[in-house]
């Protein structure tokens, strides 16, 4: 299979799955933006209405973090089960196993494009004017995507190897939701702690980068972004190599699971 065949197949699988998914729900494609918005609503009720958060423009602050976080967490959890969930195809054709997680991530990417457009619309409505600085969003999104791919490829492999890993992955997602500053601002902590949170947790750094660009009007730390991006790229390439090397082992695990 050539690279272009691989890419076309991945994209076709993603599009067909989106189409099938939309036809299953009454609200169809509306769910693409409705679901992330409902997540935001839940957090808004808890933190703004019940806990009386005093942060200025909390909804916008929350959306910048939450919408990117949901992209990561949903893609990771769905991709983790994608190979195992395609038992029929895995048992019938010898195909690169990375195709399944990558097609799932591609599906998430299409949905996320709509979600980002919605975010921009809300920002404009709230009076945040777009500037050249918004160009920084592209590398931040790219690194975000690479981080999703890197985590998902290994997650999908581990779930095929030992199914129990999927429990661990959903736990890890919850842990990340609390530690990545989705509904709190790492910059409100004392400076030493802010430094540690942003250094140790690449997701916290990315969520903060979105907010720096969109809300504070400040460019993110380019060196930090490049380091996170390079590590994610290396891990993603390693994940592709592992899935390729263990392709038949994975097939056996999936068929006999």
Partner 1 sequence: MLELVGVSHHYMARKSSFDHGLHHVLDNVSLRVMPGDTLGIVGRNGAGKTTMLRLMAGIIEPRQGVIRRRAGASCALLSLGLGFQDSLSGRDNALISAMLQGVSKRDALASLDAIREFTELGDSFEEPVKTYSSGMRARLGFASGLLTRVDILLIDEVLSVGDAQFRDKALAAMQQRLGGEQTVVFVSHAEGQLKALCDRAVWIEQGQLRAEGSPEEVIALYRQPVAAPR
Residues that bind partner 1 (CB under 8 A): 1, 5, 8-9, 12-13, 16-17, 19-21, 23-24, 86-95, 248, 251-252, 255-256
Smallest distance from the beta carbon of 88 to partner 1, in angstroms?
4
Between 108 and 229, CB nearer to partner 1: 108
CB 42 within 8 A of CB 36: no
Smallest distance from the beta carbon of 21 to partner 1, in angstroms?
7
Q: Apex CA 61: angle with CA 58 and CA 66, to 5°? A: 115
3-state helix, strand, coil in the chain (%, to 5): 80, 0, 20
Between 179 and 247, CB nearer to partner 1: 247
Smallest distance from the beta carbon of 45 to partner 1, in angstroms?
33
Residue with tokens 């990561």: 72
Residue with tokens 């997680």: 101
Between 91 and 135, CB nearer to partner 1: 91
Helix or strand run (H / E) with residue 180:
none
Give Cα separations from 45 to 34, 50, 143 (angstroms). 16, 6, 31
Give Cα separations from 104 to 125, 177, 196, 200, 238 (angstroms). 32, 21, 32, 27, 19
Smallest distance from the beta carbon of 135 to partner 1, in angstroms?
33
Smallest distance from the beta carbon of 93 to partner 1, in angstroms?
5
Between 1 and 167, CB nearer to partner 1: 1
Angle, helices 165-179 vs 58-80, to 10°: value is: 170
Between 9 and 235, CB nearer to partner 1: 9
Cα gap 42→92, rounded to integer Å:
43
Q: Considering Cα of 195, then 172, then 185, then 133, what sign does the dihedral take?
A: positive
Between 98 and 144, CB nearer to partner 1: 98
Smallest distance from the beta carbon of 251 to partner 1, in angstroms?
5
Q: How many CA atoms does the CB half-sphere of 69 hold within 13 Å?
A: 30
Between 20 and 129, CB nearer to partner 1: 20
Smallest distance from the beta carbon of 11 to partner 1, in angstroms?
9
């Amino acid at each position: 299979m050539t690279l272009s065949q691989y890419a076309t197949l991945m994209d076709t699988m993603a599009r067909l799955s989106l189409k099938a998914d939309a036809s299953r729900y009454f609200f169809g494609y509306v769910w693409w933006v409705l679901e992330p918005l409902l997540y935001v609503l839940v957090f808004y009720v808890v933190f703004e209405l019940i806990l009386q958060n005093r942060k200025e423009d909390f909804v916008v602050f929350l959306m910048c973090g939450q919408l990117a976080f949901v992209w990561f967490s949903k893609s990771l959890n769905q991709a983790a089960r994608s190979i195992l969930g395609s038992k029929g195809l895995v048992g019938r054709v010898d195909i690169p196993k990375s195709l399944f997680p990558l097609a799932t991530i591609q599906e998430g990417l299409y949905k996320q494009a709509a979600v980002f457009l919605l975010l921009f619309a809300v920002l404009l409505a709230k009076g945040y004017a777009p500037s050249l600085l918004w160009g920084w969003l592209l590398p931040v999104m790219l690194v975000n995507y690479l981080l999703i791919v890197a985590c998902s490829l290994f997650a999908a492999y581990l779930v095929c190897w030992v199914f129990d890993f999927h429990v661990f992955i959903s736990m890890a997602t919850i842990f990340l939701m609390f530690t990545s500053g989705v509904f709190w601002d790492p910059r409100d902590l004392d400076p030493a702690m802010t430094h540690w949170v942003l250094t140790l947790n690449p997701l916290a750094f990315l969520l903060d980068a979105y907010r720096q660009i969109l809300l504070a009007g400040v460019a993110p730390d380019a060196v930090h972004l490049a380091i996170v991006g390079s590590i994610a790229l290396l891990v993603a390439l390693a994940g592709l190599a592992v899935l390729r090397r263990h392709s038949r082992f994975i097939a056996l695990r999936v068929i006999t699971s």
